[in-house]
Structure 1
Amino acid sequence: MQTSYRGTRRAIGLHSAALVLVAAAAALAGCTTGPVENLPSAGTNLNQTQPSGPSRWELVRWQQPDGSLRDIPHGDNGQPIIFEFSQGIDAAQGTVSGTSGCNRFTGSYGKTDTGIRFDRIAGTRMACPPPRMELESTLLKAMQTPFATVGTQPSAGSTGRQIIWKSAGGDLLQFVEREGVGKRGASVDAGGVEKVVYIDSQRVECSGVGKMTCYRWRESPQAPWQLWYGPIEGLEFEPGVAYKLRVREYQVPNPPADASSIRWQLLNVESRTRAK
């Protein structure tokens, strides 16, 4: 994952981002209901790239309804807000996971006639400094209602594809596609180590930086239970159901102090057993 922006690369990316947002804001202020002026329409641009694997997007700008900007973390001032889409944002539906400002989250997503919706979002429960907790709470609340796509821009030079979503509350959220694990076009099983794990039917309270909920897992039906503190990316966990999963385990280089150094990505649900 790209973790910093410096020099010309940062200047180009942020300048491009600002131009896109200005166009989007102007269109919204004029009550425009069609595509943003001087940008490809959302449907046309995004459909030019059909689903070809995961894609990874970073929130780079958050403009509030009054025009002011929220202070959001980037690679050089904190862990960025990242959304990883299992089938890319071009897909009709899929699973989504990532970081929401403080914790990791997972859930599902689907296209709507005007944008995107998020469903069954769940996350870890680690405690962070109040500004990050407030930012995360606001973002997760916004994700409870669909986002409308108000602008898109294809990749250019060092800057990836960009998209601007508008929340139901009127916030403009601008995301840029990033490279790294989960980038568009990458195979879901590229790198990492494949393994089979058994997941208990209920999550339990555990303690990380703060109180949170963990999975119980083991490597075989006879092995002792262990705690898994992070999400299982791609799994739509149903309480009361035990799982046998095939996952790919990745080592996370330089993880934040409050995050795991290992991540699991779901490859296949081998079996589901409802607890009696």
Structure 2
Amino acid sequence: MNIQRPLLLAAALSSVLLAACAAPSTSADKGADMSKPKVDATIKNDAAPAARINLRGFTWNLDSAVDAAGKPIALLQREGKYGLKLSFVGDNLGVSGGCNHVGAGFKLDGDRLDISDFRTTLMACQDQRLMQMDTAISEQLKGKASYAIEGEPPSPRLLLTTASGAKLTLSGEPTAETRYGSAGTTMFLEVDSQLRKCSHPLIPNHQCLWVRERAYDANGVALKPSDEWHFLYQDIEGYQHEAGIRNVVRVKKFDVKNPPADASSVAYVLDMVVESESVPAPNAK
């Protein structure tokens, strides 16, 4: 059975939702000096002087959510746990962790967020609660919200108070752009359905990803694939290989500053999976 994800849909949505995929990776402001974070909010912390932090430099994981009366918002939980992630990329807010990838435009005004109506991909999930989460988070976040950031990198907390009075608490995780100090380079890789034995000086019988680079035109139509398959001797951050599934992934490639002698000078971080296909095992009848 083939599992296909429409490439054109993914390409069309990528400019709007960006961080929604996945994966979990967001982009820092283009041309920003990462050593001097952009001022987005004042950290409120009685134990330390006021500091500044880049809202866009983190992925924000939902830890708790209560309504205006202080009651937990059950629709934002799955099996009693919160799993939604917010990312702020350019002028777009992306939400992932439910059924679909959800996004909206936003504007900052001091400690205020003005969030426009949400857009969403149109996938259906067997778990109806995931689809309910998409609707619930969209309804909670749209409109005007206030926010504050507490703590310091690498583990700040984002406190959101929505237009309805709901209070969301989220923990920050530095984006790849923040960790590697650059915007990175976007590229597409086709990942074969099977790992292959490759040489590794420290790991006997090591298995590597077998990949080749892919390219697409301005309309998202795939160009002829490269015939140059090669080993990828390192992992793609955020990517989980599944035997028998061929994927085309969009990744960010970063230069690693001062890597250890036995480590790569580049890093690959998953941005989104744009195409998947189930492939029979080579010896399958």
Q: What TM-score, normalized by structure 1, do the two folds share?
A: 0.48
Rg (Cα) greater in structure: 2
Q: What TM-score, normalized by structure 2, do the two folds share?
A: 0.47
